[in-house]
Amino acid sequence: MDQPNNPESQMDNSLAFIFTNSRGIAFFTDLNFMRMLGNPAAQINSGVSLSHILLMDLRTEGQLIESVKQKAKPEHLPLPFRTAFGNVIETNGTVVPALDENRNFLGLDLVLTNPPKAGQIPGQTTPILTHADVIRAYVEMEMNLRDADRPRTYIQSYLVTQFNVVQIMLARIGGPGSRLIFERIANNTASSMGLPISMENGHLNFSKKDINIQGYRSLLQTAMNYAVDVVGKNIVKKEMLLVDKFVGHGTLELISQMDLRIFLAE
């Protein structure tokens, strides 16, 4: 099975991804960052301001949103945050505007990375300039194997990334409430089918190692059908195809064999 593209990418040093709507309300972060933040992190995926997460006052938050919105290009700046345990973590941030096909501003994509240590020579990185670049880096992180059971890990990681990129777009266009409904539909579907899967604070959890392809397919189809009802099929397919672009050829072949791309074939 192949590894994702760009193994030397900026993702190697990444601490966190934060996604907001056009008003700077954050509604999704990656799971590792939620764990780093501590207890308050459970609030994030219900919608909180950037200043609630980062060491940033409301004025600075407003200036950042307006600057990225007006320039429609990334900004690079220090973005420190404080954990629930009181520790201040210094990070470098890339803030990328998320735009629709008509270049309307939908929100911010933030990538937080470790600053280089004194005397350290930065490695070769792939610049993050667009929403697609952020998704590429996010997919690489999710698809980075930490388990010897590779087929299961690839399949479940693929489901996680597809659920996440769609719920990000869903919250941006339909509002944070639609993301919560998306989560409830996923949980109800999994429960009704007896699947050992749950979704909490925007993240899928697999409580068993079994691969239930029929169950995965039904869960994916039901959740994406709701997203289509809210934002339209073209938008949902565009984000899902963006994931497919970056998961790697071997992974995509496996997913296709499992008919987990059936939604995209319609």
Tens-place pLDDT, residues 100-150: 888 999 999 999 988 766 554 444 456 788 999 999 999 988 887 555 456
User: Of all residues in the chain, what percent carry a pLDDT higher than 70?
Assistant: 85
Nearest one of 171, 188, 187, 190 to 179, comparing CA atoms: 171
Going by pLDDT thresholds of 50, 70 and 90, the confidence category of residue 191 is very high
pLDDT at 3: 41
Angle at 160 between CA 69 and CA 250, to 5 degrees: 105
Residue 101 contacts by C-beta under 8 Å, 6 or more apart in sequence? Answer: none
Bridge partners for 75 per DSSP: 95
pTM attached to this predicted model: 0.86
**Mean pLDDT (whole number) for 36-63:** 82
Answer yes or no: are the C-beta atoms of 111 and 17 closer than 8 Å: yes
Query: Would you say residue 7 has pLDDT above 60?
Result: no
pLDDT at 41: 54
Distances (CA, A) of 63 to 67, 134, 150, 201: 6, 22, 44, 28
pLDDT at 208: 75
pLDDT digits (tens, 9 = 90+) for 203-245: 888 887 777 889 999 999 999 999 999 999 999 999 999 999 9
pLDDT digits (tens, 9 = 90+) for 150-188: 667 788 889 999 999 999 999 999 988 899 999 999 999
pLDDT at 145: 54
pLDDT at 42: 59
- Which of 31-40, 111-120, 185-194 comes out lowest in average pLDDT? 111-120
Bridge partners for 198 per DSSP: 205
